[in-house]
Structure 1
Amino acid sequence: MMKKLWELYVSFFKIGILTFGGGLAMLPMLKREVVDKYKWTTEEEMLDIYAIGQCTPGIIAVNTATYIGFQQAGVLGGIIATLGEVTPSIIIILLIASALKEYMDTPVLLHAFAGIRVVVCALMLDTVVMMARKGIKDKIGVFLFLAAFLLATFSPIPTALVIVLAAVFGVIYARFRSKKGGDRS
């Protein structure tokens, strides 16, 4: 049990220390650790867990770590995985806060942050492509993807509501399709 808890802590510590830019940026590292290395879950289940983490209140990375930790080692596993996820952020924030005031306007720091933003955008785009390949399976999926993207990007509708609406649509469509008896893509 202690080995499993240590693996959870170290895995989510690594994810936490390398996650710049929010929840989507963590997906490649999450896949590497949780799916490929430890095989705690499948890629499809990881995307489902991530989606649930995104829909629930709180930080996506923390929600995901808590869920996977709980799934692997109960309540203590959830706590340990969550601590692993947040420890790097706490350390980094404390270090940056102590030095940032003095160096905030230096060109090197400004360029470093600009570089980090570019890499985060590339990671997020890679993640969106991976999720689209896994999640879009038919014409309805393409329609739902485009509708959700347009609503989330260009409308004042909160993203969480767009996700809930997509889920409701998916359930209704699945029931309709099962009553019709077959795949209509």
Structure 2
Amino acid sequence: MSLDSPLAAGSGPEVPPSSTVQAAPPGVIALSLAFAKMSLAGFGGVLPFARRAIVDEHRWMTADEFNETFALCHFLPGPNIVNLSFVFGARFRGFIGGLAAFAGLVGPPMILVSVLAVLYMHYGEIPALRRALSGISGAAIGLLVATVFRMLMPLLKRRDLSALLLMVAVFVAIGPARLPLQMVLLVAAPVSLAIVFLKRRVLP
């Protein structure tokens, strides 16, 4: 046995970094509880909390897998995070898993918001409350920007120039150019698929 081998050095088999180690698939109850926790913690939007729970805390997906799944949900009609809950649950536990994740996501906030709506109807004009809500909106924007940056990191690490150029083009088209979202998606989706197809043909 060579002295350069891991066993000879006494180090044992190489263990991948914790960020790349995926945990066992969650069960139906775990899915429901996890998404309920995300929804109740998700002040200003659930996406930052969903990514942290799925990728960093539970390691049910890698960063790339989360980006790909969220991209699919972004192209579907309806709220992105609701689509993500069902697609994510169905991926691991089929239709029942999708329903469990969906119920966990929308159930607790629906009850909470119904109670808050009644309270807001009676006390919504209080100046202190309105100032507090304005402060919360700033924190929500900060959470969203931080999540976008973390989702961008896998592309930067891979140095995927075509994906970065496509991302910038879509941002410019929807943002400064103010083109209709549907038109941009109808162009961007086929272009992204064509890029992947050409990459696999040229670099199998």
Corresponding residue for 2:93?
Answer: 73
| Cα RMSD for the two superposed structures | 2.2
Corresponding residue for 2:43?
Answer: 20
Query: Given residue 38 of structure 1, which amino acid in structure 2 is its aligned partner?
Result: H
What secondary structure sits across from 1:114 in the alignment?
helix
* Contact persistence 2:63–2:151 (CA under 8 A): no
1:35-74 counterparts in 2 under 5 A? Answer: 35-74=55-94
Q: Which has the higher contact order (CA 8 A, sep 6+)?
A: 1
Query: Given residue 49 of structure 1, which amino acid in structure 2 is its aligned partner?
Result: T
Q: Deviations over 1:18-76 (max 9, x none)?
A: 2234xxx4333112322233332222111111111111111111111111111121111
Instruction: Summarize the Cα distance change of 1:19–1:178 in structure 2 as closer, same or farther, 3 Å threshold.
Output: same
TM superposition shift of 1:83: 0.4
Corresponding residue for 2:185?
Answer: 163
What secondary structure sits across from 1:154 in the alignment?
coil
Structure 1: runs of 5+ lacking an equivalent: none
Corresponding residue for 2:32?
Answer: 9
Percentage of pairs with the same residue: 26
Partners of 1:175 and 1:7 lie apart in 2 by 36
Corresponding residue for 2:175?
Answer: 153
- TM-score normalised by the chain length of structure 2: 0.76
Partners of 2:196 and 2:105 lie apart in 1 by 36
Partners of 2:153 and 2:61 lie apart in 1 by 18
| Structure possessing the higher radius of gyration over alpha carbons | 2
Instruction: Summarize the Cα distance change of 1:71–1:173 in structure 2 as closer, same or farther, 3 Å threshold.
Output: closer
Greater shift after overlay, 72-81 or 125-134? 125-134
TM superposition shift of 1:123: 0.9
Q: Deviations over 1:76-106 (max 9, x none)?
A: 1111110000012211221112111111111
Partners of 1:43 and 1:175 lie apart in 2 by 22
Greater shift after overlay, 12-21 or 50-59? 12-21
Write 1 or 2 for the structure with the bigger share of helix: 1
Q: Give the aligned length.
A: 176
Partners of 2:80 and 2:179 lie apart in 1 by 20
